[in-house]
Amino acid sequence: MIAEILTIGDELLRGSRVDTNSAFLARKLDEIGIDVRYKSTAADDMDCLEEALGLALRRADIIITTGGLGPTDDDITKKAICKVFKRNLIFHENVLADLEKRFAARGMKMPSINQNQALLPQGASFLANRTGSALGIVIDEHGKFFCSMPGVPAEMETMTVEELIPHLRDRTGDRIVLRHLVRTIGVPESVLAEKFRTGLKLSDGVSLAYLPAFGKVDLAIKGTGTVREEIQTGVDQAAATIRNLVGDAVFTEDDRELEAVVGSMLVERQLTLATAESCTAGLLAGRISRVPGSSRYFLGGVVAYANEVKMNVLQVPREMLDSVGAVSAETAEAMARGVRKLTGASIGISVTGVAGPDGGTADKPVGTVFVGLATEQAVTSKKYLMGGDREIVRERTVLVALDAVRRALMD
Amino acid sequence: MIAEILTIGDELLRGSRVDTNSAFLARKLDEIGIDVRYKSTAADDMDCLEEALGLALRRADIIITTGGLGPTDDDITKKAICKVFKRNLIFHENVLADLEKRFAARGMKMPSINQNQALLPQGASFLANRTGSALGIVIDEHGKFFCSMPGVPAEMETMTVEELIPHLRDRTGDRIVLRHLVRTIGVPESVLAEKFRTGLKLSDGVSLAYLPAFGKVDLAIKGTGTVREEIQTGVDQAAATIRNLVGDAVFTEDDRELEAVVGSMLVERQLTLATAESCTAGLLAGRISRVPGSSRYFLGGVVAYANEVKMNVLQVPREMLDSVGAVSAETAEAMARGVRKLTGASIGISVTGVAGPDGGTADKPVGTVFVGLATEQAVTSKKYLMGGDREIVRERTVLVALDAVRRALMD
């Protein structure tokens, strides 16, 4: 079963949009053992699209496209499908009725341009779109499975998980694929690779992929074969060895993000958290609160971008700011202590640093960050030097701050 | 001049990495008038790579690849180039000497595996890599321009700007491409399309593309031809008509983000800003502070996730929270007023809402958001109903809050 993902849209070829759809789709297909061998992109242009669809249908068994299903004139994916599969676009009354109902439910009259969304290829089947107006289109014949989905990521993602994957799961045959994810933080990929080079032997059919992103490295163990127990044993052995070699840099062995892991730990221990941020200016709080239900343990915090806010709201002493500066261990600790007191949280976590591009000095170059942590027992801080530009420094800082909370909760 | 971008790497086909390289490259090529007609991805596998390179060389004049140039065994792009172009890999003494010098400059001994980086195809020319060890490889013959670059985004981007683009600029010939971007917020794509269908006539050679993202729609006007003044006139006319039809939903006509536009307006008016966030919990502050130099006008704010923080830090009255609730016009206004007073900012902007997935009621379903705005003159608020899941609601809310500040500053 060879799959091709074809993303459609001028904006992708002009580079005005980064394609995140194909990575999402590839991941979901890989999870059910479907090999994505080809990825390609076509313009909103009939010749290009016909050529790309033709090539995909020749070389792949499963062809998934995203994009070009909108109601405006520049969206021509449906017309191209009709040309390549030699069908007509016909008007689907029931689809139109559904759409009108959905607009009515929001108290709106459907713009007439959306009538186009009910024009669909004859003899296709359709995938529901819970969040938008373009249906998915499936043509499944002569041993080829073809599916066209909208390009809006949120719509495509929901449709993939709820509609497409269940459709495809039956096609993957006898081949069993088992996976196990070990997520680590704070150890560089090269250091992990060195540890594993001598310490890790993988059984037949088991492979390990490194997926680094900022300060995190996901270790993706994959076992493939036909005998489930054999594969499971191989995968389990690899996971156990990795766990031994990497220790507490492992933050989870499922697909949860670090903020969700920290959240669970806080819930278990019945503790609350508050944030005091300077250079990340809300991104840490924003990350913590990504987790649904985080209001059980996250109280909030202070974005202390200006020194006046550090002084007046977090009670950082002016003399401290004047003597050691806002980017210092002392200020980080005072901020953590201050926000803990202000909010009554069990734990205060703080961040102050130089995100750049300006503001660096010889002593405190761009990327210098202090993370402070205040608990009932103690107030501590740690200094980091982050590489990268402004946004990367801020992203990395969010991660090390979250990890500081995790490590404090482990003790 | 038709170009193809070929990205190389198993991680792209497995979806464990989102490809940002091809969008960057496409943008840079588009800027100098080179049409990227094809984008494709190949695995780190000799057969796949040969097939993909062969196809690209048949259908495009300019072929740019990224990835697979590293020193480890799984990187085979150089070998594939040698096969397709029928050349040998030969050892380049001067390249090795350069590499050794660079490691020595950092006080390091070069790991022996990096010797592979000096093995390069015979008769190619090379592009310098300021930030990494893999050179770019250029083969320019028989009317085809082929260039292979490393896959690490930072390396590829620097190499593109400093080496590749100057190389290619001479090849674009007489064709002139002019662009103009009109960025809008708050008007759906279908409504814009409806307005333009009757009100906008484009001159020959001028095209308009819609690039929607959340509540924003970018309108990309492009004019192509050989007489600069004619194209410029056509593009200017289109921009003027759009401006008339869309009005103050246009937030900029350059490539700045909304937060940068708001930032410039604050600087011009010598005003400062502070945030009070409940459901976005720091994301608004994080977005405002993305702009380098935002400390000139952004003081900080409060993440008031828990009601206690709303009461104790922002002085929202308990009776208000008990009677109308945290998600209400009254609370939004009290939060904006509170943070303005707390920080001394000229403008306080606040957000409170139900991001979901839980917490919705019949009265205030998931997606209900109130944005409050406090200035010296007045305190106001506005209610929104956002579609989408938790993260989308939060993202959209950040945008409408920023836009509320923009509109207040316009008055």
> What's the pLDDT score for residue B209?
85
Task: Kindly list the residues from chain B whose CB atom is less than 8 angstroms away from the CB atom of residue A38.
Answer: 13, 40-41
Residue B7 · residue B19 · CB < 8 Å: yes
Residue that the structure tokens 């308009």 belong to: B208
**Residue of A303, A313, A357 with shortest CB distance to B292:** A357
Q: Do A48 and B25 touch (CB under 8 A)?
A: no
Task: Quote the pLDDT of residue B176.
Answer: 81
Residues 6+ apart with CB under 8 A from A405: A262, A273, A347, A349, A373
Which CATH class, in words, describes the domain spanning B176-252?
alpha beta
What's the average model confidence in pLDDT over A352-365? 93
Closest CA of chain A from B115, distance in Å: 18
- Binned at pLDDT 50, 70 and 90, residue B104 comes out as confident
Residue B298 sits at φ, ψ, to 5 deg, of -100, 120
Does position A240 have pLDDT exceeding 80, yes or no? yes
User: B345, B353, B321: which is closest to B334 by C-alpha?
Assistant: B321
SS3 content of chain B, % helix, strand, coil (to 5): 45, 25, 30
Residues of A in contact with B209 (CB under 8 A): 10-11, 14, 74
Residues from chain B that touch A156, judged by Cβ atoms under 8 A, are: none
Q: What is the mean pLDDT of chain B?
A: 92
Mutate to test the interface with B, among A40, A217, A305, A395 (most CBs of B within 10 A): A305
Domain B258-410 has CATH 3.40.640.10: no
A358–B16 C-beta distance less than 8 A = no
Whether residue B172 has pLDDT greater than 70 = no
Closest-CA distance of chain B to residue A257, Å: 14
CA B153 to chain centre: 14
SS3 B237: helix
Using only the alpha carbons of chain B, give its radius of gyration.
27
Q: Once rounded to an integer, what is the mean pLDDT over residues B242-262?
A: 96
Q: What is the mean pLDDT of residues A46-59?
A: 94
Chain B residues within 8 A of A190 when measuring between CB atoms = none
pLDDT tens profile B269-315: 999 999 999 999 999 999 999 999 999 999 999 999 999 999 999 99
Average confidence (pLDDT) over B95-116: 83
pLDDT exceeds 80 at position A171: no
Residues in B touching A42 (Cβ below 8 Å): 38
The boundaries of every CATH 3.90.950.20 domain in chain B are 258-410
- CA A281 – CA B289 distance, rounded (Å): 7
Q: Is the ipTM of this complex over 0.90?
A: no
Specify the CATH number for B2-169; select among 3.40.980.10, 3.40.50.2000, 3.30.420.130, 3.90.1310.10: 3.40.980.10
A31 pLDDT tier (thresholds 50, 70, 90): confident
Q: How far apart are CA A265 and CA A252, in angstroms?
A: 12
Q: How many residues are there in chain B?
A: 411
What confidence tens digit (pLDDT) does each residue in B176-206 have? 888 899 999 999 888 999 999 999 999 999 9
Cβ pair B356:A292 closer than 8 A:
yes
DSSP assigned state of A332? H
Task: Identify the pLDDT of residue B401.
Answer: 98
Do the strands A298-304 and A273-277 form a parallel or antiparallel pair, or are they unpaired? parallel
Residues of chain A with CATH 3.40.980.10: 2-169
Cα B247 to Cα B200, B235, B405: the distances in Å are 14, 18, 17
Q: How far is residue A215's CA from residue A120's CA, in Å, rounded to a whole number?
A: 46
Per-residue model confidence as pLDDT tens digits over A1-16 = 899 999 999 889 988 7
* C-alpha distance from A217 to closest chain B C-alpha (Å): 11
A357 upstream amide cis, omega within 30 of 0: yes
Residue A209 is predicted with a pLDDT of: 83
Report which of residues B210 and B345 the model is more confident about: B345
- Selected residue of A4, A6, A16 to mutate for chain B interface (largest B Cβ count, 10 A): A16
Q: Where in chain A is the domain with CATH 3.30.70.2860?
A: 176-252
